[in-house]
Structure 1
Amino acid sequence: MRLYFWATVITLGGFLFGYQTGVVSGALLFVREDFDLGSVAQGAVVSVLLLGAAVGALAAGRLADRLGRRPTMLAIAMIFALGSLLAAFAPDFWLLLAARLILGLAVGASSSLCPVYLSELAPAEIRGRLVTANQVTMTLGILVSYVVDLALSGSGNWRAMFGAGFVVAVLMVLGLFAVPESPAWLAGRGREDRARKVLAGTTDPDTVERTLDDYRKDEQDDSGEQASARELLRSSTVRPIVLVGLVLAALQQFAGINALLYYAPTIMESTGLDASNALIYSIIIGAINLIMTVIATALTDRAGRRTLLLISLSGMLVASVPLGWSFLGLSGQSHSVVALISMLVYIAAFGLGLGPVFWLVNSEIYPPFARAQAAALATMVNWLANFAVNQAFLPLAGLIGQGWTFWVFGAVCLVGLIFVAKYVPETRGRSPQQIEDDLRERVGATT
């Protein structure tokens, strides 16, 4: 029970990640009127969070290695609280922009550190469920943000929309005082007695000693040094492993999921449904994403991570074909039906695998001494790719057409499918050393 309580507290970071990325979609409808914002300013309110997230993701790795996972998570929760208050009480556009930047730092840091923290606390046999639970709470946070936006849309109270995140942030701060430090971090600092005590609360004595032995072996391989991002990329032994994580991070975004979600209300409108309230359609999309992520959580420790990634990318690839075709070769009701079904299948396939499983694999594949920094580097790449896709989608669609743009995303899925099949190892139920050995063999890294 203690482990599940710890996981619940940590995954509040995932909830806030989802809430703060989703809430702006509804709040912006009213912010733009109060502050008289043009299209550029509105785009800045949205995109500044993505840039802040890229910075926060990379910074979190260094801080988590130096200070520990728990103190860094406490700082992240406090930044969430501060950013929520600043956004709620912002008197003008510039302070709101600053608040969104601050929230971006917390979003990026939590997206990087929460999976790592959970991965290091959880026994191997349930690691998939606990780490993927963070993705569930993230999608739940998005869905709740849409519901809050809809509930407050009548009054137009965008300040309350942003401010609601403060309550969750405070709960997270309080809860973290009851969560222990990561045993991997403790063992890496020579505090084996404390690490053993934490592990004893999550697994049996034999597994505790085996886990500590793995930590000792990794510490010997590392010679006690903590690697920076630059050092990781220069290391002949670690670089190939890190590159696998970076490719997965970019792939998750370049597959076009956020661009597709951005365009979803327009596609739904083309089906003949009433598009006067796009928030309702956002709730439907958020619900599908949440349901599929919950299913993925149940399957990660059964079907395996690699299997779910392959199924997910295959489903997204298949769905992209009729989605693009519907814009190029169909019209009228046929276009509407095919586009809508294809879009929903695409989102469902993403939610089953590439969405949640990337974060899980990104918390598992690296050696313990490099895990926080390498995961942070991959998370930064993920947020930068997110920003790039969101900025490029509309110009690309205008240049080559919407149908061809969706086929470009399909081509990315095909490349990703080949990459996962060749280079990504199965991590289900395996120790960090077993995962590392398999991955080194796949990428041809020297030992």
Structure 2
Amino acid sequence: MTHPSTDTATSALPPLIKGPHERRLGVVALVATLGGLLFGYDTGVINGALLPMTQELGLTSITEGVVTSSLLFGAALGAVTIGRLSDAWGRRRTILLLAVLFFVGTINCVSAPSFEVLVIGRVLLGLAVGGASAVVPVFLAELAPYEIRGSLSGRNEVMIVSGQLAAFVVNAIIGNVLGHVDGVWRIMLAVAALPAIALFFGMLRMPESPRWLLSKGRNEDAVRVLSTIRSPERAEAEARDIRATVALEERTTTAGLGEVLRNKWLVRIVVIGIGVAVFQQLTGINSILYYGQVVLAESGFGAQAALIANIAPGIIGVVGAFVALWMMERVNRRTTFITGYALTAICHFLIGFASVSVPTDSAARPYILLILIVAFVGSMQTFLNVATWVLLSEIFPLRIRALGMGISVFCLWVTNALLSLYFPTIIGTFGITGSFFGFAAVNALALVAMIRFLPETRGRTLEAVEEGVTTGAIFTIRSRSRHR
């Protein structure tokens, strides 16, 4: 038995048609992406909560870094462990577990009497954030028809940036209205309990991934799920394709790391996944997310003005994410990545150039730098953030999907944590000029890597992408993909 070729696989499937199944798929995606909303809020809320938290708990510069980065190191662990758990336990049940972790971690942080207890709560939140970053995109990709897989999977990134913007807005409102109240940071953190509750009760009514069900031999359950989110003819056809892929995998591969290391094509796709994940973090986007107030203050804004100005990058991030969704089914993945890294490299260079060329006492300096920072965030969110998570959710073969996703996202979160831990030191040592010139160089390197190594996946079923990976064909079709 062989995989269908790309053209055969796509032409053999009945076309998508409108109906109740379409609305049902939208509801499933909305509920699942509450995990992305929590991801965004819990990573963004520290931006405004850190200062009052420091004052109440007596944090030092070192313990501030530990509080910020503890969530991220927890996320690295959660990505690699909970991602693997979803292979054995199922995507749906794993997301239910994540909802519980989000809630327990939030309550722990809100009630924390000391630095040590707060860090435990942040690590629990990190486990949930990392698990959500690995499992939710895979869940969405496995539910989506290939024709709209990019835009459906990309909804998770829209929810992430919406959660980040919500955190910035909540911080600004609560900080200005209730800033005089003791423990105001606890109120900022407590808001996250509400979507955690909604995620748990919502997922109780959601289906399991049909691809996961078929991989476990639960054929009737898988067809039943597909029939609720596809037309009957399309459900049967997709089930046949997935069963063929699963049957071939059972004879030729296992889900273990050892099997990956013995197959040069699987090694290559995992390395590409790691590169895509790590370079996304090295754009410097999370330096703005976590320390935006610090960067804007360094640019010349006052402390309160910086807190309000910090909302601007959050707004452009959400706008960029919606534009990215529109592009997912219209622009090739390679084109999106190449454009994104070119723009972020240019923006970083201009930020560094402006910081050294515009006098520090100039009234225009903070606004010039704010405009360039907003341009960077817009470029990043439009061309790279959504595309990164979509690509990671679709490039790995089914039997190593959770493993490949987990490894890639683990590396993403470790990079995120290390950069977040040391960014205050970097900007303190090199200033805005040196820091952003350094980001410009890294983004230029990422641009070269994307041009040279990134495969194309748009317009292909997950089964066709899998065939291309396991045979190596996907790594040699870049020229063809440019003409699609």
Q: Which bin holds the TM-score, normalised by the shorter protein?
A: over 0.9
> Contact (CA 8 Å) 2:46, 2:290: kept in 1 or not?
no
Q: Matched residues in 1 for 2:248 and 2:148: separation?
A: 27
Point out the more displaced range, 288-297 or 6-15.
288-297
Q: Which residue of 1 aligns with 2:370?
A: 340
Letter in 2 for 1:317: A
1:216 partnered with 2:240: no
Write the mapping of 1:416-427 to structure 2, written as runs, cut at 5 A.
416-427=446-457
> Contact (CA 8 Å) 1:240, 1:443: kept in 2 or not?
no
In the TM superposition, residue 108 of structure 1 has moved relative to its aligned partner by 0.4
1:96 partnered with 2:96: no
Residue deviations 1:338-387 (CA, integer Å, cap 9, x gap): 43332221111001021111001000111112112211111111000111
Residue deviations 1:199-242 (CA, integer Å, cap 9, x gap): 12222344334422332333233226651345434433311111
1:405 partnered with 2:435: yes
Relative to structure 1, is the Cα distance of residues 269 and 86 closer, same or farther in structure 2, using a 3 angstrom cutoff?
Answer: closer
Write the mapping of 1:274-289 to structure 2, written as runs, cut at 5 A.
274-289=302-317
In the TM superposition, residue 174 of structure 1 has moved relative to its aligned partner by 0.4
Q: Matched residues in 2 for 1:64 and 1:110: separation?
A: 11
Relative to structure 1, is the Cα distance of residues 159 and 269 closer, same or farther in structure 2, using a 3 angstrom cutoff?
Answer: closer
Q: Matched residues in 2 for 1:304 and 1:232: separation?
A: 27
Unmatched segments (≥5 aa) in structure 2: 1-22, 478-484
Letter in 2 for 1:361: L
Task: Give the TM-score taking structure 2 as reference length.
Answer: 0.86
Unmatched segments (≥5 aa) in structure 1: none
Relative to structure 1, is the Cα distance of residues 262 and 168 closer, same or farther in structure 2, using a 3 angstrom cutoff?
Answer: closer
In the TM superposition, residue 19 of structure 1 has moved relative to its aligned partner by 0.8
Point out the more displaced range, 388-397 or 285-294.
388-397
> Contact (CA 8 Å) 1:69, 1:113: kept in 2 or not?
yes
Point out the more displaced range, 434-443 or 232-241.
434-443
Q: Matched residues in 2 for 1:366 and 1:358: separation?
A: 13
Q: Matched residues in 2 for 1:400 and 1:271: separation?
A: 14
Residue deviations 1:221-278 (CA, integer Å, cap 9, x gap): 3226651345434433311111111100000011222224455435544666544243
After the TM superposition, which segments of 4 or more aligned residues of structure 1 sit over 6 Å from their partners?
none
Residue deviations 1:110-131 (CA, integer Å, cap 9, x gap): 0111100011011112211211
Q: Matched residues in 2 for 1:267 and 1:149: separation?
A: 17
Q: Matched residues in 2 for 1:277 and 1:215: separation?
A: 54
Q: Matched residues in 2 for 1:263 and 1:101: separation?
A: 19
Q: Which residue of 2 aligns with 1:250?
A: 278
Q: Which residue of 2 aligns with 1:305?
A: 333
> Contact (CA 8 Å) 2:68, 2:420: kept in 1 or not?
no
What RMSD, in angstroms, separates the aligned Cα atoms of the two structures? Answer: 2.2
Letter in 2 for 1:103: L
Residue deviations 1:256-313 (CA, integer Å, cap 9, x gap): 2222445543554466654424321222221111111111112211223332222211
1:291 partnered with 2:342: no
1:372 equivalent among 402, 406, 409: 402
Point out the more displaced range, 236-245 or 182-191.
236-245
Q: Which residue of 2 aligns with 1:386?
A: 416
Relative to structure 1, is the Cα distance of residues 398 and 270 closer, same or farther in structure 2, using a 3 angstrom cutoff?
Answer: closer
2:191 equivalent among 142, 153, 164: 164
Q: Which residue of 2 aligns with 1:327?
A: 355
Q: Which residue of 1 aligns with 2:156?
A: 134
> Contact (CA 8 Å) 1:215, 1:368: kept in 2 or not?
no
Point out the more displaced range, 148-157 or 292-301.
148-157
Q: Which residue of 1 aligns with 2:379?
A: 349
Q: Matched residues in 2 for 1:265 and 1:91: separation?
A: 26
Q: Which residue of 1 aligns with 2:16?
A: none
In the TM superposition, residue 329 of structure 1 has moved relative to its aligned partner by 3.4
In the TM superposition, residue 74 of structure 1 has moved relative to its aligned partner by 0.6
Q: Matched residues in 1 for 2:149 and 2:228: separation?
A: 15
Residue deviations 1:38-71 (CA, integer Å, cap 9, x gap): 1111211111000000000001221100111111
Relative to structure 1, is the Cα distance of residues 280 and 178 closer, same or farther in structure 2, using a 3 angstrom cutoff?
Answer: same
> Contact (CA 8 Å) 1:267, 1:339: kept in 2 or not?
no
Q: Matched residues in 2 for 1:96 and 1:121: separation?
A: 37
> Contact (CA 8 Å) 1:121, 1:182: kept in 2 or not?
yes
Q: Matched residues in 1 for 2:282 and 2:64: separation?
A: 23
Residue deviations 1:375-416 (CA, integer Å, cap 9, x gap): 111111100011122233344445555323322212222222
In the TM superposition, residue 417 of structure 1 has moved relative to its aligned partner by 1.9
The share of aligned pairs that are identical, in percent, is 34
Write the mapping of 1:27-106 to structure 2, written as runs, cut at 5 A.
27-106=49-128
Helix, strand or coil at the partner of 1:425? coil
Write the mapping of 1:423-442 to structure 2, written as runs, cut at 5 A.
423-439=453-469, 440-442=472-474
Q: Matched residues in 2 for 1:274 and 1:330: separation?
A: 18
Task: Give the TM-score taking structure 1 as reference length.
Answer: 0.93
Helix, strand or coil at the partner of 1:366? coil
> Contact (CA 8 Å) 1:18, 1:139: kept in 2 or not?
yes
1:152 partnered with 2:174: yes
Q: Matched residues in 2 for 1:159 and 1:328: separation?
A: 39
Write the mapping of 1:233-272 to structure 2, written as runs, cut at 5 A.
233-262=261-290, 264-266=292-294, 268-269=296-297
Q: Matched residues in 2 for 1:395 and 1:42: separation?
A: 12
Residue-pair matches, total: 445
2:231 equivalent among 204, 211, 215: 204
Q: Matched residues in 1 for 2:371 and 2:70: separation?
A: 32
Residue deviations 1:167-187 (CA, integer Å, cap 9, x gap): 111111101111111011001
Q: Which residue of 1 aligns with 2:208?
A: 181
Q: Matched residues in 1 for 2:54 and 2:268: separation?
A: 46
Point out the more displaced range, 235-244 or 253-262.
253-262
Q: Which residue of 1 aligns with 2:35?
A: 13
> Contact (CA 8 Å) 1:12, 1:168: kept in 2 or not?
yes
> Contact (CA 8 Å) 1:54, 1:384: kept in 2 or not?
yes
